Each structure stands twice: as C-alpha cells, then as structure tokens.
Amino acid sequence: MTDSAIIAIAAAFAIAVSTIGPALGQGKTAAAAMEGIARQPEAAKDIRSTLIISMALMEALTIYGLLIAFMLVAKV
Amino acid sequence: MSEPSEVILPIFGVLDVTGEVVVMWIILAVVAVISLLVTRNLKERPGKFQNIIETGVEYLDNFFTGIIGRKKARKYFYFLGSLFIFIIFANYSGLFPGVGMTKYAKAPTSSLSVTAGLGIVTFFFLLIASIRAKGVKGFLKRFWSPVIILPPLLILDEFIKPASLALRLFGNIFGEETVTEQLYEILPIGAPLIMMILSLLFCAIQAIVFTMLTTIYLDEAVETEDEE
C-alpha cells in the first residue's frame, strides 16, 4: 500500500469512528428527552433548550473527527 | 482543512475579495435596507411590515430572556441579536440557487475563516463583558476560585469555547454544502432537494445553537456573587 492510500483509509476511519460515539449518545439523550416530554408536557420548553445544548456539545466531538479527516485528506 | 477560497478580486494581496465576502456584503446590504425601511416611520399601531419584524425581534428577546433573564438580555441584546441575525442569514444564503456552485458566491459560514472570525469576536466580547461586569479582580478570581490547581484548565477553557463554537458552525454548514454538491453530481435534478429540505432545519438549529451557547457562556462570564 502506498502512503496516500493509508492516509485515505485513516481519514475515512477518523470520521467513521468519531461518528459512532456521539450518535449513540445523542440517541440516548433524545430518547430520555422524549420520555421526559411525554410524562410532563408542560416542561417541554425547558427540556427542548437543554436538549439542543447537550446535542450541540456532543456534536462537537464528531466535528473534531471531521476536522482531523480534512487535515488527513489534505496530506494525500 | 478545507480548500482555500478562490480570490476573485485581489486588493493589495491582503484584503482579497472571495465569494464569501461578496455574499456577506449582500447580507449586510439586505439587513441594512430592511432595518432602514422598518424604522423610517415607526408607528404606535404597526403596519404589516413593521409587525412582521417586531414579531421576530420579540421572539429573539423572549429567547434570550428565557436563558439569562430580562435585565441581562436587554443589556446584551445588541450583540446576541446581531450575531443570531447574521448567522441565520449567512446559513440560509447557501440555499439560494447558484450560491456554492461558482466561485463568485458561497455561503459565508461554510468557510472556516468566517466562523473563526465570529469565534474571535465572541471571545473578545465575553472577555470585555466579563471585565466590565466584575472588574479585573473579579474576572481573575474566577480562575482560581474553587480549587487552586484549576487555572491552567480554566484558561484553556476560555480559548476552547470560541474555537469549538467556530468549528461546530463551520463543520455543520460545510458538511451540508458538500453533501448537497455531491448529490448534485449524482443527479442534478431532484436529488439535492432532499438535503436542502433538511438544510432548512439544520441552518436554523445551528444559528440557535451558536447564539444559545454564547448566551450561556456570557451568563457564566458576567454573573456576580451577590446577585443570587
């Protein structure tokens, strides 16, 4: 395998692996929020804003993976 | 990292005009014209046009009030509101036909330079607001208040906050634009529509997330001890 082939595979792995963790986390968060809203519809507004913030913080992890993937792709 | 934008009009080699800059100028013009038209003759009983804009501003005001309370929301509305309006216009500009396809027009927030600029502005805003609200002593106190070993982490945190804000916005919008472009390559008619409909949602959410996180950081930065 050439160097650039290895780098290309590494870039693909960087984004693929960094997607899995946050995806699982976001799924759990959304499920819990749904449950909370279903039990207490009047608290929906507060739950929604907290949900968006926590989702955004988790998403940052994926974006870091994306950044690393870009940096690797630039080296191919 | 993403490809550097193509320069369409070099000015002294430093102030190069790129597609993002052009779109930002258009956004500035549109927002300025709307504001001028609305505030030219304000009425106690608003007309149709004034009513629409008032609803929007009221929504923003309620949004910030819900997070940091009425007093602070009013005090810092000038920054938070402008940030939200600019980001949402910049995000949605990517959905217009032709934007992103040529080098003359690109969605501003799909470039890391623009979002990094927004991040830097936010960083200095938080710094100045914090020093103004608490004084230099109060500002420094936050770094060693709970435990004495925390300062390195807390100082790092100050820099990571705006950096992650910038990266998040850039990553989302750039990713979205790239997916739309790739779908366009596969099937020019119809396929990009799927992503663009999703984009309608994502663009608004990213603008909300950026402003909401800035508001929360601001709340942390300006809170004084005797308030609670």
pLDDT in tens, A31-48: 999 999 999 999 888 888
> Which residues fall within 8 angstroms of residue B171, CB to CB, at 6 or more apart?
A62, A63, A66, A67
Burial class (CB in 10 A: 0-12, 13-18, 19+), B133: middle
A56 contacts chain B (CB < 8 A): yes
Containing B89, the helix (H) or strand (E) segment is helix B77-93
Contact B212 A52 (CB under 8 A): yes
**Is residue B226 scored above 80 in pLDDT?**
no
Q: How far apart are CA B98 and CA B93, in angstroms?
A: 10
The CATH number of whichever domain residue A39 belongs to comes to 1.20.20.10
B171 contacts chain A (CB < 8 A): yes
Q: What sign for the dihedral angle of Cα A59, A60, A64, A70?
A: positive
Out of B28-32, B131-135, B217-221, the most confident range is B28-32
In the predicted model, what is the mean pLDDT of residues B57-73?
A: 88
Q: What is the DSSP letter of B2?
A: P
Identify whether B1 is part of a domain: no
pLDDT of residue A34: 93
Contact A64 B67 (CB under 8 A): no
Pairing of the two strands B7-9 and B17-18: antiparallel
**B54-64 confidence digits (pLDDT tens):** 899 999 999 88
Answer whether B190's CB lies under 8 Å from B174's CB: no
pLDDT of residue B33: 93
pLDDT of residue B1: 45
| Three-class SS of B134-187 | HHHHHHHHHHHCCCCCCHHHHHHHHHHHHHHHHHHHHHHHHHHHHHHHHHHHHC
Tokens at B184, concatenated = 């366009």
Identify whether B2 is part of a domain: no
Looking at the structure of chain A, the number of domains it has is: 1
Looking at the structure of chain B, the number of domains it has is: 1
In the predicted model, what is the mean pLDDT of residues A13-26?
A: 92
Please tell me which residue, B192 or A28, carries the higher pLDDT value. A28
**What does pLDDT average to over chain B?**
84
Query: Nearest-CA distance from B8 to chain A in Å?
Result: 23
Contact A70 B216 (CB under 8 A): no
Selected for mutation to probe chain B from A51, A63, A70 (highest B CB count within 10 Å) is: A63
Q: Is the ipTM of this complex over 0.90?
A: no
The candidate with the shortest Cα–Cα distance to A26, out of A59, A61, A60, is A59
* pLDDT more than 70, % of chain A: 100
Domain that holds residue A36: 3-73
Q: Give B17's strand partners.
A: B9
Query: Nearest-CA distance from A56 to chain B in Å?
Result: 7
pLDDT band at B189; cut points 50, 70, 90 = confident
Query: Nearest-CA distance from B171 to chain A in Å?
Result: 6
Selected for mutation to probe chain B from A67, A68, A72, A75 (highest B CB count within 10 Å) is: A67
pLDDT band at B5; cut points 50, 70, 90 = low
Domain that holds residue B41: 7-227
In the predicted model, what is the mean pLDDT of residues B132-144?
A: 81
Containing B7, the helix (H) or strand (E) segment is strand B7-9
> Which residues fall within 8 angstroms of residue A40, CB to CB, at 6 or more apart?
none
pLDDT band at B225; cut points 50, 70, 90 = low
pLDDT band at B133; cut points 50, 70, 90 = confident
**Is residue B84 scored above 80 in pLDDT?**
yes
**What does pLDDT average to over chain A?**
88
pLDDT of residue A73: 85
Q: Report DSSP letters for B15-26, one per residue.
A: S-EEHHHHHHHH
Q: What sign for the dihedral angle of Cα A35, B200, A16, A50?
A: negative
**Is residue B8 scored above 80 in pLDDT?**
no
In the predicted model, what is the mean pLDDT of residues B80-99?
A: 88
